[in-house]
Chain A
């Protein structure tokens, strides 16, 4: 079975550029999550969707970040304009049920983002 697929795996870009990260969740999963991981702050939940609807975006750092889920098989996380402090590994995860209600989150391999 295909797991959560993220692209690109690595992204290096200059400050001020627009960055778009992509995620394809596991088919049939109703929940999709975007996380950011850094050494300083650990693994932070940015936003999550249930049935394509954003439920909680309180973790999104600021207005430069936006996330969409136009359909059940695709989501994007966009940063515009990007800044060096956005450099991190961004993970997408999906789950069949609410992850605390018996059932795991399945994580992708992440996108390592470097903003110069």
Chain B
């Protein structure tokens, strides 16, 4: 059961790069790592997903070391609108396991 551990909260300033690390020591061989973003009064929104090394899209980058026991979501040059809760999920749904959102990391971007 690949549980995840993230910081409860982080503060940053506009224009800075933000890195949020998620620990998942028990990740299974076939597990993907997925990150979601949630704004108040909205449902979570998919940001990025990866299996190993590095994945980049127009929003963020995901860095995964070789042992895959952790991953880092990198948000370049954050703005006030990036203030949200960020969730790291590992694994997939099957008869014995459910993806769990956990508490997430509450990111506050200050002017």
Q: Which residues of A contact B (CB under 8 A)?
A: 4, 31, 42-43, 45, 48, 55-56, 58-59, 91, 93, 98-110, 112
B99–A109 CB distance below 8 A: no
Set of chain B residues within 8 Å of A59, measured between Cβ atoms: 98
What residues of chain A lie closer than 8 Å to B95, measured between beta carbons?
55-56
CB distance from A61 to the nearest CB of B (A): 15
Chain B residue numbers with a CB within 8 Å of A105 are: 36, 44, 46
Tell me the complex Cα distance, A51–B34, Å: 23
> Measuring CB to CB, which residues of chain B are less than 8 angstroms from any residue of chain A?
31-32, 34, 36, 41-46, 49, 87, 89-95, 98-104
- Provide a sorted-by-A list of 30 A–B residue pairs whose CB atoms are within 8 angstroms: A4-B43, A31-B93, A45-B99, A45-B100, A48-B93, A55-B95, A56-B98, A59-B98, A91-B43, A93-B43, A93-B44, A98-B94, A99-B89, A99-B92, A99-B93, A99-B99, A100-B89, A100-B90, A101-B32, A102-B49, A104-B34, A105-B36, A105-B44, A106-B46, A107-B44, A107-B45, A109-B42, A109-B43, A110-B41, A110-B42
A60 to B92, CA, bound (A): 19
Q: Is the CB of B92 within 8 A of A100?
A: yes
The answer on a CB contact under 8 Å between A100 and B32 is yes
A101 touches B43 (CB 8 A): no
